[in-house]
Structure 1
Amino acid sequence: MHTIFVSWVLLGLLAACAGRQAEARAFLVFGDSLVDSGNNDYLATTARADSYPYGIDYPTRRPTGRFSNGLNIPDLISEHIGSEPTLPYLSPQLTGQNLLVGANFASAGIGILNDTGFQFLNIIRIYKQLEYFQQYQTRVSALVGPEQAQRLVNEALILITLGGNDFVNNYYLVPFSARSRQFSLPDYVVYLISEYRKVLARLYELGARRVLVTGTGPLGCVPAELAQRSRRGECAVELQRAASLFNPQLADMVNSLNNQIGSDVFIYADAFRMHMNFISNPQAYGFVTSKIACCGQGPYNGVGLCTIVSNLCPNRDLYAFWDSFHPSEKANRIIVQIILTGSNEYMNPMNLSTILALDSKT
C-alpha cells in the first residue's frame, strides 16, 4: 500500500514538472552579433568573441561567444520570461530538456543578404538559420511528439535582429562596394526590405506566431564609424541616413505582413530610437560617454577588435558601448526594459509585457 502511495506521489510530481515545462515558454533567436550567444565559437570564422576581455562581467567571468562584456539582449529577455538563457544551436549541450527551453540560431556577421559578411568566411546565413530551425523542430518532435513540438513552436517567443551588417559589412564596407555600384541607397533599402519580407514570411510558414523584429540601431553613431568617418565626434551622416531610411520601411513592412496574415504576429521594435535616447544624453542614463567604446584602440576605441591588448575601461556600466559596435550589458538592459514596457513609439503594435499578458490568457 505504502509503495503504491509513493508511486502516486511521484507521478503527481512528475506531472506537475511536465506542466511547468510546458508552461515555460520556448524562446528562439535569429540574427547577427547583437544576439549571437556563441554559435560562431563552433565555426572557422574571424567573427568571434571567444577571448578575454569578452565576458568579463558574465556570471562565469569567461568569454562565451557573446559580443558583450556580460549578458546580451536574448539573455535579458530570457530573465524576464523566467527561463534559462537559450543555448547556441551548435552547442553540444543543446539536447534533451534543453531543447524545450528554445535555441539561439544567430551568427555574428550575417545580414539579410547572402553576400553580407562574406569577409568573415563561415557564418550561419539567415536561410541556414531557418534550415536549422526546421532541424530543431524535428529534434523537439522526437522528444515530445509532433503535436507538442508544433505547439511549442507556435507558442514560442521569437526574436530576430538583422539589417545593420547589410550596411556596415556590405554597402559601406569599402568605397564603391559592389552593392553601392549596383544600387543607390534608397533603392538598396527597398531591395533589403523586400528580401527581409521573404525571411519573415518563411518564419511564419515554419510556425512562428510571436516575433519581435528589431530595426537597426543608429549605425553612424557606433565607435567604429566615429573612428572612420567622424571629425569631431558627430554621428556619420550617411550611415544615419541609411538607418533612417531602413527603419520606417521595416515598420511598414511588418505592419503590412500582419494585415496580410490578419493577426499581430510580428512586433516592430524601434532600436534606433531606443539607442538614440542614451546616445543623445548619456549622462541621463548614468553613462560618462556614448562615443568611446569601453574596449578597443584608436580614436573612440573604435579601431579593430576588442582583444587582450586593447584599452579596457575599469567600469563597464559607465559606457554605452562595450566594443566598437556592440552595446554594453548596461545599455542592453535599458533596451530590454523598453522592449518590455515601451510605448507605441518604440514597440508597435504592443510591447513585450502586453504580449506576455495577452498570451497567458489564451
Structure 2
Amino acid sequence: MAILFSSQSALPFLSLILLAFAYTGSQADARAFFVFGDSLVDNGNNNYLITSARADSPPYGIDYPTHRPTGRFSNGLNIPDIISEHMGTETTMPYLSPFLKGEKLLVGANFASAGVGILNDTGIQFVNIIRIYQQLNFFEQYKQRVSALIGEENTKKLVEESLVLMTLGGNDFVNNYYLVPYSIRSRQYALKDYVPFVISEYKKVLQRLYELGPRRVIVTGTGPLGCVPAELALHSPNGECVAELQKAASLFNPQLVQMLDQINQDIGDNVFIAANTNQMHMDFISNPEQFGFTTSKIACCGQGPYNGLGLCTPLSNLCPNRDLYVFWDPFHPSERANRIIVQQILGGSNTYMHPMNLSTIMALDSRA
C-alpha cells in the first residue's frame, strides 16, 4: 500500500534532511562550543531559575550590544562570548533558553550556572542552581536533541570535534569552605586536605565529561581568590590580598594541573588543557597600569570599601569608564579584563596555557 504524504506533513521531515545535509557540508569551517561552570561563564541560564544568583537587572549588560542585562555577570561580554568571537562563530545560547532549537543547537550550548561548584553542597545558599552533574545530564539531553536533527553519527562527530570550556572551583572556597567561620567543610577538613578532596571530585566530573564525547577541553584554574574586591572589603583593611584565600588558590591550581596531566597520560592524548587564569589575573593585580587599568582593587559597580560589599544593583556606585577597571563587580572581571584573559588563552606561553594554547589546538585540529 502506498503511503501518501501531504506537502504540509512532509515539510518537517524534509527540513531535518536538509539540516543534516547542511551540517555535513559546513562543519569543515566551524566547530561546536560547549560551556560548563559557574558565574564567570554563565550567559543567562540562571535567568530561568528561581535563585538569588542572577545578573538580570541593570547595570549588568550596560556595555553589551543591546545595553541591557543578559544574565552575564559582566558589564558586557564574558569569556565564552569572546572565545566564540575569535572562533568566528555566534555566541552559544543558554541551554535553558526556549530559543535554543533547530540550527542554533549546532552552534553548541552554554550549560553554566552562577553559584555552582565542584561539590554538590557548594552554593546551597542560592537554592535553585544547575549543579555540575545536572549540567552534564543536560549535555546528554542536548546530544539526544541534536541526534534527532542530524542523526547519531553526525552528533558524535560534532561533539568529538567540539571545543569545551570548563570553569569551576572558586565557589568551592568562597561560597563553601570560607563562606562562614567554622563552615561544615572547614570543620571537616584542614585546607591542605580539603584541596585534594575537591581535586579528586573534580577528576570524576572531567572523566564523566570525557565519557560523553568531547576531546578538547579547556579547564580554567581559580583566579586569585583573596584579591577580589568582595574579599578585600571583608578582610583587608590595607588593600592587601587576603593571605588565607590566596593560599587556597596556590594549593588548588598546581594540583589541578597535575590532575589534568594524569588524566591526559591515562588517555594517551592532550584532551584537557589547563588555563592558568590565576596568573592571568595576578598580572593585572600586580601591575594594573601596564594593562591600561587604573585600579585592580576597586570594583566598578558596588558599594562599601572597594565597592566590594553586597551586589551590583541600580542603586550601586557605578564607574563612568568600565575599561579602566579590572573588576566589574565585587567578584567578576570587566569585559576588557576578560578580553585580555582570552588573548592569553589564545596565544599565551606555557606559563599561561599547558600543554598548549587555543591557537595551537585550532591549528592542530584543522590539519587533522
**Deviation digits for residues 117-176 of structure 1, max 9, x if unmatched?**
000000000000000000000001000000000000000000000000000000000000
Deviations 1:210-246 (A, max 9, x none): 0000000000000000000101000000000000000
Structure 2 residue 64 is matched with structure 1 residue 50:
no
TM-score, length-scaled by structure 1: 0.95
Which residue, out of 17, 28, 39, partners 2:34? 28
Per-residue deviation, residues 196-216 of structure 1 (Å, max 9, x unmatched)? 000000000010100000000
Q: Does 1:74 align with 2:80?
A: yes
Question: Is 1:332 the equivalent of 2:330?
Answer: no
The one-letter code sitting in structure 2 at the alignment partner of 1:314 is P
Q: CA deviation at 1:19?
A: 1.9
Amino acid at match of 1:113: L
**Is the Cα contact below 8 Å between 2:24 and 2:154 reproduced in 1?**
no
Counterpart AA for 1:359: D
Superposition pairs for residues 67-146 of structure 1, below 5 Å? 67-146=73-152
Amino acid at match of 2:364: L
**Does 2:179 align with 1:173?**
yes
| CA offset digits 1:280-334 (Å, max 9, x no partner) | 1000000000000000000000000000000000000000000000000000000
Q: Of residues 316, 324, 337 in structure 2, which corresponds to 1:310? A: 316
Which residue is equivalent to 2:235? Answer: 229
Give 1:18 shift: 5.4
Residue 185 of structure 1 deviates from its aligned partner by 0.2
Report the 3-state secondary structure (helix = DSSP H, G, I; strand = E; otherwise coil) of the residue aligned with 1:97.
helix
Distance 2:192 2:211 in 1: 29
> 1:59 is matched with which residue: 39, 56, 65?
65
What are the equivalent positions in structure 2 for 1:8-19 lying under 5 Å apart? 19=25
SS in 1 for 2:145: helix
**Retained in 1: the 8 A contact 2:264–2:272?**
yes
| Secondary structure of 2:274 counterpart | strand
Correspondent of 2:288 among 270, 282, 286: 282
Shift of residue 20 of structure 1? 2.3
Distance 2:23 2:313 in 1: 43
Question: What is the aligned partner in structure 1 of residue 254 from structure 2?
Answer: 248
CA offset digits 1:246-272 (Å, max 9, x no partner)? 000000000000000000000000010
SS in 2 for 1:103: strand
Aligned to 1:58, the other structure's residue is in SS state coil
What CA distance in whole angstroms lies between the structure 2 residues aligned with 1:156 and 1:225?
36
Structure 1 equivalent of residue 7 of structure 2: none
Kept after mapping to 1: 8 A contact 2:61/2:75: yes
> Does the 8 Å contact 2:23/2:150 carry over to 1?
no
- Structure 2 gaps, min length 5: 1-17
2:289 and 2:168 map into 1 onto residues whose CA distance is 29
Q: What is the alpha-carbon distance in structure 1 between the residues aligned to residue 287 and residue 258 of structure 2? A: 28
Tell me the SS of whatever aligns to 2:102: coil
What is the letter of the counterpart of residue 351 of structure 1?
A: N
Give the counterpart of 2:166 among 145, 160, 167: 160
Residue 202 of structure 1 is matched in structure 2 by 208
User: Which of the residues 359, 362, 365 maps onto 1:359?
Assistant: 365
* 2:278 paired residue among 264, 272, 281: 272
Amino acid at match of 1:301: N
Identity of aligned residues (%): 73
How many residues matched? 351
Deviation, structure 1 residue 17: 7.6
**One-letter amino acid of the counterpart of residue 269, structure 1:** A
The one-letter code sitting in structure 2 at the alignment partner of 1:192 is V
TM-score with structure 2 setting the length: 0.94
1:259 aligns with 2:282: no
Task: Give the Cα–Cα distance (whole angstroms) in 2 for the partners of residues 18 and 251 of structure 1.
Answer: 36
User: Aligned to 1:204, what secondary structure does the other structure show?
Assistant: helix
Q: State how far apart, in whole Å, the 2-side matches of 1:105 and 1:15 are.
A: 27
User: Following the alignment from structure 2 to structure 1, what is the Cα–Cα distance between the partners of residues 31 and 289?
Assistant: 36
**CA distance change for structure 1 residues 287 and 17 in 2, over 3 Å: closer, same or farther?**
same
**Structure 2 residue corresponding to 1:341, chosen from 331, 341, 347:** 347
Q: In structure 2, how many angstroms separate the alpha carbons of the residues matched to 1:108 and 1:236?
A: 23
